[in-house]
A and B are shown apart, each in its own frame.
Chain A
């Protein structure tokens, strides 16, 4: 068995030996020590290596949370010094996590109690503010690598909605059961029939019970149907609402005139089954949902300087012209002008490029950069909501979001279905009014009743819901199940290169020239250590075994190289021109020349480390769609990529985030359904623009850019398999739709001829729903198993 980290279980190349155990990094050791010092070793007993590795470990400040009005807006409950808050902790992933967070009171006595809601990745914490400030509580959680997030309004709403749906479902079940029992005597043969007076009583009780089924449990169908009519859209809710009304009116009429027994058991059953479908859909949605936009990366508050006084204000209150102070490691929340002398800004968050950018006084700094070094004084140019970042991230409009919720196929099918049903029912009504007018109204309503597309409405949520769960188990998380359908239509896939096809944390490093001794290696490493250029960092990682020396006179020439005095030797490191060497290799940009005291020793070739099996993955995808590759980097890797991608003109380098976005929209204009696969915030624009945006994340517990789906980096090679699986899921939906049509044809033939009996309806409707649900669930499961998912 290969060695894994005692804390987080991840494999590593370098090991930290501590307390007789192996750890992958100092971060893990730190958390282990915190737990051990507090006698919380049970964390490791419950699950093996349950920890989370916090690779990026950005510094976050939570001070702003102690501001009175901000605090009041985020706390759930506040009385004297006892406060209660619900935090969203995406890192919760196993039973050890639950144990640790629920035992927080052992870490700090200010915590009174904490409860985890696993499904929602939520921790409800009650704490004593005299002993533990809110900011300290957040810091405490972050220090054990469970980085907390303030819950968004949307998350709070979803929780309420799912509760209401459950109550509705319970009520519908209660009504269904009782109405079914009450209508039982109707189905008995005449010899054992009850007293008709009693039957009449039963019927009126049923009518009473059906009213809440319609207006409480089933009210949403009327609301959405009405909304859609107003917007001129025909949707599946319309025939459902029509059917419900038809059943109720007809039953009421029959019961009032003592002319039959009505279809109230079918009515309540219908509502119950439909709600089961809705509930399942909501449950899938909850299990899959991930909610993040750029503002969850941002602090809620920022230090504003007004009249020589520092005050912390919420970001939303920032006005143009405000002076703000941003400290080391903090993110600049709005486009702003630099007032300090000079600054280094790390834009890796936006561009993916990890070399910090130098900015001078009076220069405009875009939001999203992380400050490195001293605190900066800035003057806000644009409010946070109108800045560059917000523009990239522009939320889709409400209508668009709503439509993407519902499956497209279902929309098209139900449109024709509704029109057909209305036609058939009218024709039937006309026909009967000509021949036997006593049957006209009955036949007309019978058609509406039996055509109520319960099975149709259930097919999609169950088929896609199951498929979404299967994909989720394989670390491919969909935001909405309707994305499965979009996946099947993709005919252009755009890959981002850096971080998506390549692994941002690994490089292949090779030295060419006479091998360096350990002493020289140390000198090289000392110099590389000073620079934040990715190539330098790759070198440091490569030379991790050797030590470092003090560095004097360090100088960095942007785009060329670095130089310094190390151990009284003058060392230069950088491009061939920079050190004055002659180079004959083709792609110079990935070579680092070493020059020690006027002597060029050779060069390091640093190659991107591609994720395993990426070539076969891209090739398989290429079998059924076209593949494009965009890279924000230089063109050093052109050769490698040309071998894989069929068309050279589909590979582009030096792409800014805006370029990527417009590239995708260009493809869309050509009538293509575009899938964008990217990793960083630099791809956010393109991810949003594409019909299907997939974010690649090394750690799915951590936040990643807003997208339609998140795929774990290790599963990226299975992407073609996922696409194929979603195609078969769509086929299953088609079959389910055909099955429900068959039921409808049978039912309609009875209804049109005026022979629909309540008993027949009461059997056919649940039967069709249940059989469609069973069929889709089983076949999706089988299809998943066949595809090895």
Chain B
């Protein structure tokens, strides 16, 4: 039965590791902002500058067509 005490201590240590990870996450600011990362991941990366610029033009054209 004494093995249970060893098990309990071991499981506590594992839990402590996770607690440590949580504290680390808080300290490094991972809980600071729960909105922008979700948006940031959707942003297009570089390189398609031209494309996006063309899109402005197209958007306005389609907008005009919709109005007409």
B23 interfacial contact with A, CB 8 Å: yes
One of B5, B26, B52, B60 near A198 (C-beta < 8 A): B5
A146→B23 CA distance, assembly (Å)? 34
One of B12, B40, B57 near A102 (C-beta < 8 A): B40
Q: Is the CB of B36 within 8 A of A182?
A: no
Q: Is the CB of A198 within 8 A of B36?
A: no
Secondary structure class of chain A's binding surface, majority of residues: helix
Which chain B residue has the least Cβ–Cβ distance from A116?
Answer: B36
Q: Is the CB of A99 within 8 A of B53?
A: no
Contacts of A45 in B (CB 8 A): 52, 55, 59
Q: Is the CB of B1 within 8 A of A201?
A: no
CB within 8 Å for A118 and B55 given contacts A39-B50, A167-B23, A194-B1:
no
Q: Is the CB of A167 within 8 A of B26?
A: yes
Q: Is the CB of B26 within 8 A of A44?
A: no
A195 interfacial contact with B, CB 8 Å: yes
The range of chain A's interface size is 35 or more
A150 interfacial contact with B, CB 8 Å: no
Interface centre among B34, B36, B53 (most CB of A within 10 A): B36
Q: Within B1-58, which residues are at the interface with A (CB < 8 Å)?
A: 1-2, 4-5, 8-9, 12, 15-16, 18-19, 22-23, 26-27, 29, 31-36, 39-40, 42-44, 49-50, 52-53, 55-57
A170→B30 CA distance, assembly (Å)? 14
A182→B8 CA distance, assembly (Å)? 9
A36 interfacial contact with B, CB 8 Å: yes
Contacts of A396 in B (CB 8 A): none
Q: Is the CB of A205 within 8 A of B56?
A: no
Which chain A residue has the least Cβ–Cβ distance from B32?
Answer: A117
CB within 8 Å for A42 and B52 given contacts A98-B39, A167-B23, A205-B12:
yes
A420→B58 CA distance, assembly (Å)? 72
Q: Is the CB of A118 within 8 A of B33?
A: yes
A21 interfacial contact with B, CB 8 Å: yes
Contacts of A42 in B (CB 8 A): 43-44, 52, 55
Q: Is the CB of A174 within 8 A of B19?
A: yes
Q: Is the CB of A202 within 8 A of B32?
A: no
A586 interfacial contact with B, CB 8 Å: no
Q: Is the CB of B43 within 8 A of A170?
A: no
CB within 8 Å for A120 and B19 given contacts A36-B53, A39-B52, A198-B1:
no
Q: Is the CB of A170 within 8 A of B55?
A: no
A45→B34 CA distance, assembly (Å)? 22
Which chain A residue has the least Cβ–Cβ distance from B1?
Answer: A195
Contacts of A202 in B (CB 8 A): 8
Contacts of B4 in A (CB 8 A): 194, 198
Contacts of B18 in A (CB 8 A): 174
Q: Is the CB of A170 within 8 A of B26?
A: yes
Contacts of B32 in A (CB 8 A): 117, 119-120, 159, 163
Q: Within A159-204, which residues are at the interface with B (CB < 8 Å)?
A: 159, 163, 166-167, 170-171, 174, 177-178, 182, 194-195, 198, 201-202
B53 to chain A, nearest CB (A): 5
A95 interfacial contact with B, CB 8 Å: yes
A201→B40 CA distance, assembly (Å)? 50
Contacts of A40 in B (CB 8 A): 52
A153 interfacial contact with B, CB 8 Å: no
Q: Is the CB of B33 within 8 A of A166?
A: no
A623 interfacial contact with B, CB 8 Å: no
B65 to chain A, nearest CB (A): 12
Q: Is the CB of B23 within 8 A of A170?
A: yes
A41 interfacial contact with B, CB 8 Å: yes
20 CB contacts below 8 A, A to B, read A20-B60, A36-B56, A40-B52, A41-B56, A44-B56, A44-B59, A45-B59, A46-B43, A98-B40, A102-B43, A116-B36, A163-B29, A166-B31, A170-B23, A171-B19, A174-B15, A174-B22, A178-B15, A201-B5, A205-B8
- Contacts from B to A (Cβ < 8 Å): 1-2, 4-5, 8-9, 12, 15-16, 18-19, 22-23, 26-27, 29, 31-36, 39-40, 42-44, 49-50, 52-53, 55-57, 59-60, 64, 67
- Contacts from A to B (Cβ < 8 Å): 1, 6, 20-21, 36, 39-42, 44-46, 95, 98-99, 102, 116-120, 159, 163, 166-167, 170-171, 174, 177-178, 182, 194-195, 198, 201-202, 205
Q: Which 8 A-B residue pairings sit nearest by Cβ, starting from the closest?
A: A39-B49, A41-B56, A95-B39, A42-B52, A118-B35, A118-B36, A117-B33, A174-B19
